[in-house]
Chain A
Amino acid sequence: MPVFKHPQILIASNLTDGEVVFLGPSGWERDHRRARVARKADEAAALEALGKGDISANRVVDVYLADVEIGSDGAPTPLHYREKMRVKGPSVRLDLGKQAGEGAL
Chain B
Amino acid sequence: MTAVDLRVAQRPNAPMTTYRYDEYDAAFVSERVAEFREQVNRRLSGALTEEEFRPFRLMNGLYLQLHAYMLRVAIPYGTLTARQMRRLADIADRWDKGYGHFTTRQNLQYNWPKLVDTPDILESLADVEMHAIQTSGNCIRNVTADHFAGVAPDEIEDPRPTAEFLRQWSSLHSEFSFLPRKFKIAVTGAAHDRAAILVHDIGLRVVKNDTGEIGYQVVVGGGLGRSPFIGKVVGDFVPREDLLAFLEAILRVYNRFGRRDNKYKARVKILVHEKGIDEIRAAVEAEFAAMDRSAFDHDPEEFARIAAFFAPPPYESLPATSALLRAAKLETPAFANFVDVNVGAHKIPGYAIVTVSLKPIGGVPGDATSEQMRVLAEASERFGFGELRVSHEQNIILPHVKQDDLFALWSMLDAAGLATANAGLVSDIISCPGLDYCSLATARSIPIAQAISKRFSDMSRQRRIGKLGVKISGCINACGHHHVGAIGILGLEKKGQESYQITLGGDPTFSASIGEILGPGVTAEQVPDVVEHLVDYYLAEREEGEAFIDTWRRIGHARFKDVLRREGEDGADI
Residues of A that sit less than 8 Å from B by CB = 13, 15-20, 55-58, 61-62, 80-82, 85-86, 89-93, 96-97
Contacts and interface: CB of A to CB of B under 8 A. Distances in A.
B436 A91 contact: yes
Contact of A85 (B68, B115, B435): B435
A84 B480 CA distance: 23
Contacts of A93: 364, 436
A97 B67 contact: yes
B114 interface: yes
B168 interface: no
Q: Give the contact-size bracket for chain B.
A: 20 to 34
11 contacts: A13-B64, A18-B114, A57-B46, A58-B49, A80-B496, A81-B435, A81-B496, A85-B436, A90-B67, A92-B444, A93-B436
Given A55-B50, A58-B43, A90-B437, A18 B116 contact: no
B44 interface: yes
B498 interface: yes
A41 B65 CA distance: 28
Contacts of B68: 13, 17-19
B446 interface: yes
**What are the 4 A-B residue pairs with the smallest beta carbon separation, nearest first?**
A18-B69, A90-B436, A18-B68, A17-B114
Interface in B471-509: 496-498
A92 B363 CA distance: 9
Contacts of B64: 13, 18, 61-62
B447 A92 contact: yes
A86 B439 CA distance: 10
Nearest to A83: B66
Interface centre among B65, B67, B111 (most CB of A within 10 A): B67
B116 A16 contact: yes
A86 B497 contact: no
B450 interface: yes
A89 B67 contact: yes
B444 A91 contact: yes
A65 B113 CA distance: 25
Contacts of A55: 50
A59 B45 CA distance: 10
B413 to A, nearest CB: 23
Contact of B50 (A18, A61, A81, A92): A61
A90 to B, nearest CB: 4
B442 to A, nearest CB: 8
Interface in B353-380: 364
B97 interface: yes
A94 to B, nearest CB: 11
A55 B49 CA distance: 8
A16 B46 CA distance: 12
B46 A58 contact: yes
Contacts of B437: 90
A17 B112 CA distance: 8
Given A58-B44, A91-B447, A92-B446, A20 B114 contact: no
Contacts of A92: 364, 436, 444, 446-447, 450
A83 B64 CA distance: 15
Nearest to B63: A18
Contacts of B497: 81
Contact of A16 (B44, B67, B111, B436): B44
Contacts of A17: 68-69, 114-116
A86 B67 contact: yes
Interface string B87-122: 000000000010000000000000111111000000
Nearest to A87: B67
A81 B97 CA distance: 24
Contacts of B111: 90
B472 to A, nearest CB: 13
Nearest to A17: B114
Contact of A96 (B97, B114, B435, B447): B97
Given A20-B67, A58-B43, A90-B67, 14 more contacts: A16-B114, A16-B115, A17-B115, A17-B116, A18-B64, A18-B114, A55-B50, A58-B44, A82-B435, A91-B436, A92-B450, A93-B364, A93-B436, A96-B97
Contacts of B447: 91-92
A82 B497 CA distance: 10
A15 B44 contact: yes
Interface in B28-51: 43-46, 49-50
A48 to B, nearest CB: 16
Contacts of A80: 496
B244 to A, nearest CB: 39
B492 to A, nearest CB: 12
A13 B498 CA distance: 24
